[in-house]
Structure 1
Amino acid sequence: MSWIRDIEVVVFDVLGTLVDEPGGLRAGIREALPGSDDASVDALLASWQRHVETEQLRIARGHRAYANTDTIDAEAARRVADQAGLSDPAAVARLATAGRRLPPWHDSVAALERLAPRFPVLGLSNASRTALVRLNAHAGLRWHQALSAETVQAYKPDPEVYRLAVDTAGCPPERVLMVAAHAWDLRGARARGMRTAYVRRPVGDPPTGADAFDGRFDALGDLVTALTAA
């Protein structure tokens, strides 16, 4: 892994890579609908995720004007509430902000603490600016800077989102490492010339045999060890 010696800045995806997005949303649905069984909660979570994926894709294709994740999550929360018969406005409003209270994976906080003294560390997320601030505070994530795709009015894997990270890093893209648990995210970063490292997570999008990422790691700590030992 000689490529590691050339890395100047490390960029992390947040949702799914450093925090458990499905687990946090599932907890938010359970809070709003106490007593719901696992199958019902899972079905509502799937409905939420389908709405978010569909609307972000519509925006990417130019079929909808840009809307940040605050707006799309509020739509998803209303969709879930309608399906579950939840009519309490306060409960629906809190459910809409469940994406700001996602738990970190067990190793995320410690890994960032180890890495931050050695490298500039950036977060790069589709979450809105406001949601990202709240999420980082809730999860206890340590950044030198957290970047929201809202800044460029797009969603990953739009090239402008990765350009934002490279421009902020202030060095050539081949010296910027993108870390994610989603192969689709890393493909987008690689297309912009960034180095790429996949970290396995239970909810990620694993690489295929055709993916030529620079590194693949079973745990975030293994990546940090490789970077700090270089």
Structure 2
Amino acid sequence: MQHMDILNRVKADTQVLAFDIFGTVVDWHGSIMREVQALYPHVDANAFALAWRAGYQPAMARVRSGELGWTRIDDLHRLILEDLLPRFGLSHLSEAERVHLNRVWHRLDAWPDSVAGLARLKQRFTICSLSNGNLGLLTNMAKRAGLPWDCVLSAEVFRAYKPDPTVYLGVAKVFDLSPHQVMLCAAHHDDLAAAGACGLNTAYIERPLEFGASQIKDVSPQPGNLLHAHDVMGLADLLGC
């Protein structure tokens, strides 16, 4: 009964659902694997995708520490890629080929439930992205994958990367709302914990295959999250959409 009361309150209070993107709404691992396999069959596409993503947090840490000035994710992805190419026998790629490969992050496929689930949620809530990905990347991705955002928000807008509170509180500020009127929806407990510390409500979305079949994630519920959904369609069910 208590959980139902909380759920009803949240459904009444929440106006904006802000979604993490990489791994939550789109399948970065599978998408990169498929493209690398098609372009460069001799490369271990699984290892390549995992290595590229593994460079993500260290690259952002260089920005947070001040070693690098504000740098878009597109440019950080390119820095990581340059380190990867020799390791995977791809040093011979031309500049045009490198640019095309780096933009694979603009071409990520949505998880099968994402578009339909977002369309249902959009009927009741304002839905937006809240990603460290830059605006151009997120817009191109949404257009290609058919993601029906009401608004594309990015860390680029706030010139800070998650988990900086500026990003989470920035969503509420953009829409002139209190933090509790915004819910972050993500497949990453650390992202949700940081949002919750800023007063946002949180919904965990299970993505056990985010890192591929070789590294299945533990998607067990954690008590800090208000909602726990199997996928985006399941979140729509929980929120009565």
Q: Does 1:41 align with 2:45?
A: yes
Instruction: Please name the residue that 1:165 is paired with.
Output: 171
Match of 1:20 among 18, 21, 27: 27
Q: What is the TM-score of this pair, normalised by structure 1?
A: 0.90
Q: Does 1:218 align with 2:230?
A: yes
SS at match of 2:67: coil
- Output aligned runs, 1:64-83, within 5 Å: 64-83=68-87
Instruction: Please name the residue that 1:88 is paired with.
Output: 93
Q: What is the TM-score of this pair, normalised by structure 2?
A: 0.86
Q: Does 1:153 align with 2:165?
A: no
Instruction: Please name the residue that 1:32 is paired with.
Output: 39
After the TM superposition, list the runs of 4 or more consecutive aligned residues in structure 1 that deviate by more than 4 angstroms: 204-211
For 2:105, the aligned partner's letter is G
Q: Indicate if the aligned counterparts of 2:32 and 2:45 stay in contact, CA closer than 8 A.
A: no
Q: Deviations over 1:3-42 (max 9, x none)?
A: 3222121111111111001112222322331243xxx222
Cα distance in structure 1, aligned partners of 2:46 and 2:221: 30
- Residues 1:200 and 1:28: Cα distance change in structure 2 (over 3 Å): same
Superposed displacement of residue 123, structure 1: 1.1
Cα distance in structure 2, aligned partners of 1:147 and 1:123: 5
SS at match of 1:142: coil
- Residues 1:220 and 1:209: Cα distance change in structure 2 (over 3 Å): closer
For 1:69, the aligned partner's letter is I
Q: Indicate if the aligned counterparts of 1:19 and 1:104 stay in contact, CA closer than 8 A.
A: yes
Q: Indicate if the aligned counterparts of 1:107 and 1:220 stay in contact, CA closer than 8 A.
A: yes
For 2:231, the aligned partner's letter is A
Cα distance in structure 2, aligned partners of 1:47 and 1:118: 39
Cα distance in structure 1, aligned partners of 2:37 and 2:151: 32
Cα distance in structure 2, aligned partners of 1:206 and 1:63: 34
Aligned residues: 226
Q: Does 1:191 align with 2:197?
A: yes
Cα distance in structure 1, aligned partners of 2:39 and 2:73: 20
Superposed displacement of residue 171, structure 1: 1.3
Cα distance in structure 1, aligned partners of 2:219 and 2:64: 22
Q: Indicate if the aligned counterparts of 1:69 and 1:127 stay in contact, CA closer than 8 A.
A: yes
For 2:230, the aligned partner's letter is D
Q: Indicate if the aligned counterparts of 2:29 and 2:50 stay in contact, CA closer than 8 A.
A: no
Match of 2:134 among 128, 133, 139: 128
SS at match of 1:10: strand
For 2:240, the aligned partner's letter is T
Structure 1 unaligned residues grouped into runs of 5+? none
Cα distance in structure 2, aligned partners of 1:171 and 1:133: 24
Q: Indicate if the aligned counterparts of 1:149 and 1:156 stay in contact, CA closer than 8 A.
A: yes
Aligned-residue sequence identity (percent) comes to 30
Instruction: Please name the residue that 1:138 is paired with.
Output: 144
Q: Indicate if the aligned counterparts of 1:10 and 1:121 stay in contact, CA closer than 8 A.
A: yes
Superposed displacement of residue 206, structure 1: 5.5
Q: Indicate if the aligned counterparts of 2:119 and 2:148 stay in contact, CA closer than 8 A.
A: yes
Q: Which deviates more, 208-217 or 68-77?
A: 208-217
